[in-house]
């Protein structure tokens, strides 16, 4: 038997039906890539000749450019195994993968032009236009393919893998309910349940009989992979299952433990002879840390010089508006929960930094006249460029909170302290999505923390640039200011 989408036992589908589409999707995707690259390269070359040389040349350089670029892009994707159906079960990473492969193909193409000394044979404008236009076109094409695969997978017409499940009935059904293999392009061709035994000796005999029946069924159904759905602590039973199915031409998988559902990308890591299951990685690699730090220093220094007249003007306005210092300093937690003092333009009549700090709220009487304007347009945050230059903060990251608020929210919100796994930022993913201002409810703070953790898990240089852009130009970045 097999299991349907609701976890009910049904008869297994015929092999031909379950495999429909799995063999032609790779070639179709490759053909789409070739067609898109070739069409764009050919069109830009022909249009360039028509506009700049007033000549319509349908052959010659246009055909050569299209053929070379399409062939190189196809070759790079083949070498990276991008035309396997499992790569197209989700839109995640498609643009990055296409952009990476396209850059490699373009570098190889330019290298060939230099080595063959034919660089002048092709229009630089046509090459540049092709480079810019291909990635979004490929992304749209692959999005359409992913939509086709997703709908075909749900209906059972398209299958990436035919799988056989074995384990206790409870664990097998839990695996089916939790992971819904049909949404991942897999078809369950059959299941085999291992029955519990009352004694050790009876258990060994029952396990051998169950495995013999499972192997016979599996050999008949001819799946691509076997999934062993058992708790990892039952290592003797798992080893017996592995030994039984090692005699068959199938891939053998150990179904994930429940804890793995908490992590997006667990990964097997080998260090010499040692292999381990890595649940998380450091948010940034040493190279990424160096690049982010270099970017912070350059941009913060340039911004500080350009904004110096504005900073002096704000300082003078604060002095004239109310008594007290121009800058407000408060202890905050930074990277790895190390304490530092944050700089802000003073926007209130108080400068609390103790065990109890009352958050600013809308129409707060403690906010000064000039302070209200500074907070409305985020200008009170500008002195934090000094914190960035000092290395306590980054331009982009989770916003730091007062120590008293950190202690309070750590007790209420799981993984709150994980926000300190990267440097805090002047602006962040939560802020550009409108999550700023007073956090008077736990739900508001939980939403902010969820956005901060998403940023940590999905950090990229392009994401930082997007956040900086939205900080300056998106209305959401100025929403809920108090």
Token pair, residue 4, equals 């349907």
**Statement to judge: residues 103 and 198 lie in one domain:** no
pLDDT at 354: 61
- Average pLDDT per 10 consecutive residues for the chain, totaling 482 residues: 44 42 75 92 87 71 90 92 76 80 92 85 87 88 80 68 91 90 81 76 80 93 92 92 92 89 79 84 86 95 95 93 89 92 88 66 79 87 95 95 84 86 94 79 85 90 91 78 60
**Statement to judge: residues 121 and 147 lie in one domain:** yes
**Statement to judge: residues 304 and 378 lie in one domain:** yes
**Statement to judge: residues 222 and 199 lie in one domain:** yes
Distance separating alpha carbons of residues 407 and 392, to the nearest angstrom: 20
**Statement to judge: residues 180 and 127 lie in one domain:** no
Task: Please count the structural domains in the chain.
Answer: 3
Question: Which residue, of 126, 154, 182, is where some domain finishes?
Answer: 154
Question: Which residue, of 216, 244, 278, is where some domain finishes?
Answer: 278
| CATH number of the domain bearing residue 170 | 3.40.50
Among residues 476, 479, 482, 466, the alpha carbon closest in space to that of 95 is found at 466
**Statement to judge: residues 35 and 150 lie in one domain:** yes
**Statement to judge: residues 131 and 228 lie in one domain:** no
Question: Which residue, of 278, 307, 331, is where some domain finishes?
Answer: 278
Name the residue range of residue 128's domain.
25-154
**Statement to judge: residues 64 and 212 lie in one domain:** no
H/E stretch holding 48 reads: helix 25-52
pLDDT at 316: 94
**Statement to judge: residues 132 and 232 lie in one domain:** no
**Statement to judge: residues 340 and 260 lie in one domain:** no
**Statement to judge: residues 308 and 257 lie in one domain:** no
DSSP per-residue codes, 373-430: HHHHTTGGGTTHHHHHHHTS-EEESPPP-BHHHHHHHHHHSTTGGGGGGS--EEE-HH
pLDDT at 193: 93
pLDDT at 203: 67
318 burial via Cβ count (<10 Å: 0-12, 13-18, 19+):
buried
Q: Which residues of 123-159 are buried (b: 16+ CB within 10 A; e: fewer)?
A: beebbebbbebbbeebbebbeebbebbbebbeeeebb
**Statement to judge: residues 296 and 435 lie in one domain:** yes
């Amino acid at each position: 038997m097999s299991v349907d989408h609701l976890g009910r036992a049904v008869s297994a589908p015929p092999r031909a039906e379950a495999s429909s589409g799995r063999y032609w999707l790779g070639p179709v995707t490759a053909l789409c890539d070739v067609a898109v690259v070739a069409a764009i390269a050919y069109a830009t070359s022909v249009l360039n000749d028509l506009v700049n040389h007033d000549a319509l040349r349908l052959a010659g350089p246009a055909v050569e450019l299209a053929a070379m670029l399409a062939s190189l892009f196809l070759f790079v994707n083949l070498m990276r195994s991008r035309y396997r159906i499992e790569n197209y079960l989700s839109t995640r990473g498609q643009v990055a993968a296409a952009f990476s492969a396209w850059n490699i193909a373009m570098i190889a193409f330019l290298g060939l032009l230099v080595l063959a000394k034919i660089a002048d044979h092709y229009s630089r404008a046509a090459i540049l236009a092709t480079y810019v236009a291909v990635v979004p076109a490929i992304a749209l094409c692959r999005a359409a393919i992913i939509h086709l695969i997703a709908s075909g997978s749900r209906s059972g017409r398209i299958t990436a893998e035919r799988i056989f499940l074995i384990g206790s009935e409870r664990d097998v059904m839990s695996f089916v309910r939790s992971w819904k293999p049909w949404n991942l392009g897999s078809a369950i061709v059959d299941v085999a349940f291992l029955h519990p035994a009352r004694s050790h000796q009876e258990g060994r005999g029952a396990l051998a009989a169950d495995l013999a029946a499972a192997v016979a069924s599996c050999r008949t159904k001819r799946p691509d992979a076997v999934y062993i759905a058992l708790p990892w602590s039952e290592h003797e039973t798992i080893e017996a299952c592995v030994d039984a199915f090692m005699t068959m031409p199938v891939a053998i998988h150990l179904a994930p433990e429940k804890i793995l559902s908490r992590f997006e990308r667990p990964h097997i890591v080998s260090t010499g002879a040692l292999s381990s299951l890595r649940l998380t990685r450091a948010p940034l690699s040493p190279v990424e840390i160096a690049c982010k730090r270099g970017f912070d220093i350059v941009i913060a220094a340039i911004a500080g010089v350009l904004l110096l007249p504005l900073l002096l003007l704000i300082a003078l306005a604060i002095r004239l508006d109310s008594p007290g210092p121009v800058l407000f300093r408060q202890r905050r937690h930074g990277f790895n929960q190390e304490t530092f003092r944050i700089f802000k333009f003073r926007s209130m009549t108080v400068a609390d930094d103790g065990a109890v700090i009352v958050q600013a709220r809308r129409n707060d009487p403690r906010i000064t006249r000039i302070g209200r304007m500074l907070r409305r347009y985020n200008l009170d945050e500008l002195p934090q460029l000094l914190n960035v230059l000092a290395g306590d903060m980054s331009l982009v990251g989770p916003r730091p909170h007062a120590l008293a608020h950190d202690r309070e929210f750590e007790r209420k919100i799981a993984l709150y302290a994980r926000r300190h796994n990267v440097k805090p930022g002047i602006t962040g993913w939560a802020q550009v999505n409108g999550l700023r201002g007073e956090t008077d409810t736990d739900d508001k703070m939980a939403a902010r923390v969820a956005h901060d953790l998403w940023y940590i898990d999905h950090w990229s240089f392009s994401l930082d640039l997007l956040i900086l852009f939205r900080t300056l130009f998106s209305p959401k970045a100025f929403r809920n200011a108090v």
